[in-house]
Amino acid sequence: MTHDDGWRPKLVALDIDGTLLKWVEGVGTTYEQISPPVYDAVHRALDAGVHVVLASGRSPHGMTNVADLLDLHGDEGEQLWVVASNGAVVFRYPPIDVVHEVTFDAAPAVRAVLQEHPSALVAVEERGVGYRVNRPFPPGELSGEFTIADVADLVAVPVSRVIIRDPDATADDFVALGARLGLQGTDYVVGWTAWLDLAPVGVSKASGLEYVARELGVDAPDVLAIGDGRNDIEMLQWAGRGVAMGQSIDEVQESADAVTGSVHDEGAAQELDRYWPPA
């Protein structure tokens, strides 16, 4: 949907990595720092009474630092709404208070993937702590504490999210793998590298935001969403205005209503400045 009629969002949903935070060149991690233009643009929205909601594939404890860097809770310290784990977990903060979580039996999907990628790394989110993994992931890719366990133990009980990572494969390998396996009972999203996120069917950042919007009394047409990854596509399509970052792959840009500057050009601030320009 395009808007030139004085439309103003009532809720702004922001992805974190590649939208608010810049990627470290050649490494699967971002700098944990918010640029002044983005910080100021977000605060102009907050000052206008708009709800700002972080929506990320990160687990809850990987998101609180960004909320703190942005000072999203303001002076009153009121609890934010945050969409984590690609929509499988919704929590309030501070402190972390999980209000909504969707889990599923990931064992069959994980087995199917490992048959084709036997050396892949597997991580299951351990809420509020970190991850349980079959082997360590490359440095900086996951946050929190790690416990090593057998894959069978990792998926022995229902989980909200599984990450499968193969340092020897490419993102395209995983796109083809997901299409080939169909991954019954799960939805999957492929990252910018050979990184596969498995989630319960129907769960995405869009479903998590829908939950939050309902609680806040906001409708989808009044939401502005900004993101850059394959895991943002449903959110960009669901929101009244979905905006892709300039460095996004074509598939993401095509799912959006508009494309803003890249993360290096402060694209998120450029979009927010349309509604709340600097004085």
Q: Average pLDDT in the 67-79 region?
A: 85
Judge whether residue 74 has pLDDT over 80. Answer: no
What is the value of pTM for the model shown?
Answer: 0.92
Q: What is the pLDDT of residues 207-223, one digit of tens each?
A: 999 999 999 999 999 99
Domains and CATH numbers, the chain: 11-101+203-273 (3.40.50.1000), 107-200 (3.30.1240.10)
pLDDT, residue 34, reads: 96
Which structure tokens are listed for 209?
Answer: 């935001």
Q: Are 271 and 262 in contact (CB under 8 A)?
A: no
How far apart (Å, rounded) are the C-alpha atoms in residues 131 and 145?
Answer: 6
160-174, 181-195, 227-241 — which is least confidently predicted? 181-195
Beta strand pairing call for 11-14 and 223-227: parallel
pLDDT, residue 26, reads: 77
pLDDT, residue 265, reads: 98
Judge whether residue 2 has pLDDT over 60. Answer: no
pLDDT, residue 48, reads: 96
pLDDT, residue 136, reads: 93
How far apart (Å, rounded) are the C-alpha atoms in residues 193 and 20?
Answer: 19
Tell which residue, 141, 181, 143, has the closest CA to residue 165: 141
Q: What is the pLDDT of residues 81-134, one digit of tens each?
A: 999 999 999 999 999 999 999 999 999 999 999 999 999 999 998 877 889 999
Q: Count other Cβ atoms within 10 Å, centred on residue 14.
A: 24
